[in-house]
Amino acid sequence: MQLRKFLVVVVPVIASFALVACTSDAGSDGGSTTTPVATAPTQGGDTPVGSGDPTGTPGIPVATPDAGGNVPAPVASGDRKLEPAPIEGLDVLVRESFPPQYAAVVKSGLPSGCAEFAGIEVERDGNEFTLTVWNTMPSDPNVACTMIYGIAENTVTLGGGFTSGETYTVRAGDLEMTFTAQ
């Protein structure tokens, strides 16, 4: 009986602490704590080039590169700092268009309940693309975060200027994919 009373009191208290520790106070000043990648639906009819299983689900975040093929780096704000995200998966999509357009699907880790996806930086050097995925974390090292590892799946357009028959390489973290332009 005493154990039951103990559990009835202690479990809600622990759950409350976990909720408070993982909740941002961004609403108090009306600002956002991260710089999100623009959200746009992915185009239907995407054909995977690599070995992964991208879903092409509408509404997943999509980063759009500028004319040079680069996406501006995300910027941390307020009480959060940028950290490179661990890369869990990489795939390349060829979009059914003329001329063909290409996109990378990146699965990145969210190492704790406090980690939030911030964006993908795309750098192109000739036929090589380097993707850097960023998360934000609380700047205060004393913030308690749940030890829940999550996965974020995001799609980024690789831009244009592909030459049919040439091989291109996409790198994210330790993962690398190659494809031949159509």
- What would the mean pLDDT of 71-84 be, rounded to a whole number? 77
Mean pLDDT of the chain, nearest integer: 73
Confidence (pTM)? 0.61
Nearest to 61 by CA among 167, 156, 159, 179: 156
The three-state secondary structure class of 21 is: helix
Instruction: Supply the pLDDT for residue 78.
Output: 75
User: Could you list the residue range(s) of the whole structural domain that residue 176 is in?
Assistant: 2-180
Binning pLDDT at 50, 70 and 90, where does residue 41 land? very low
The answer to whether residue 165 scores a pLDDT higher than 70 is: yes
Q: Which residue has the higher pLDDT, 33 or 111?
A: 111
Q: What domain count does the chain have?
A: 1
| Neighbouring residues of 95: CB distance < 8 A, sequence distance ≥ 6 | 43, 45, 46, 47, 101, 102, 103
Q: Which residue has the higher pLDDT, 48 or 68?
A: 68
Give per-residue pLDDT as tens, 1-37.
565 554 555 455 455 444 444 444 444 343 333 333 3
Instruction: Supply the pLDDT for residue 14.
Output: 56
DSSP secondary structure, 24-79, as one string: --GGGTT--SS-PPPB-PPPTT-EE-SSS-----TTSBEE---TTS-PPPP---TT
